[in-house]
Amino acid sequence: MNEKTQGKLPIVILISGRGSNLQAILDAVTAGKLPVDVRAVISNRPDAAGLERARVQGIPAIALDHTRYPDRESFDRELAGTIDRYQPKLIVLAGYMRILSPFFVAHYLGHMLNIHPSLLPRHPGLNTHQRALESGDTAHGASVHFVTSELDGGPVVLQAVVPVLQDDTATRLAERVLEQEHKIYCQVISWFAEGRLEYHDGHAYLDNQKLDRPCQLNIKTGSIEHCES
């Protein structure tokens, strides 16, 4: 640990693609707005563009090609072994497009966050923006949640609600949602790094209060609202 990282929460970030949320996190760290030490960035795809984002900032960028492993658990065990060498206190899934094995989830339970492009529990899984349009939703958005064994089913900490416009396409809607993803993910990581956010017995706790409903980011004012316990 050097002077720049002393007192900061060590994290490892997992990606599968371009690393847009990864870049938002790195930018927040550089700006002194996020008290974390990004120990490594790991991708299950060797061609993931986000790996270069890490290399540019001198962060270890590691590719573990999942297609070279016989099954999901053998890959996840190798991945966990690689992660644990960096001794992180938090695992951040930033566009990591792999279903996690029970072993992996149990290994990091309470210390792993994910961001999902919908207002969970609506639209878990893939193609969320198109599904929101097809469902006639008037509101869409993004959710940051703790990872549990249920796909996109862990307790949600913070959401940003994005209005669906009459002439929206999935692409336009995705762009507006992504802008809010960057904000809420950094906020939740910061809460965890500051010791304000914890996971116990299947629930998220913020400032020692159980969240019965997720907090919401007011996208107009930037304030956090409706944290209910």
Q: Identify each DSSP E strand in the chain by its residue range.
A: 9-15, 36-43, 61-63, 90-93, 112-116, 139-146, 156-163, 197-200, 203-206, 209-210, 215-217, 224-225
Identify the helix (H) or strand (E) that includes residue 189: helix 170-193
Cis ω on the peptide bond leading into residue 121 (within 30° of 0)? Answer: yes
For 222, list phi and psi in degrees, rounded to 5.
80, 5
Q: In Å, what is the CA distance from 107 to each residue of 35, 77, 84, 165?
A: 24, 10, 10, 41
Please enumerate in sequence order all residues whose Cβ is within 8 A of that of 88, keeping only pairs 6 or more positions apart, or say none: 10, 11, 12, 39, 40, 111
Whether 130 and 140 have beta carbons less than 8 Å apart is answered as no
| Active-site pick, 116, 123, 129, 145 | 116
Residue 116 annotated to the active site: yes
- The C-alpha atoms of residue 137 and residue 129 are separated, in whole angstroms, by 10
User: Which residue type occupies 137?
Assistant: D
Residues annotated as part of the active site: 116
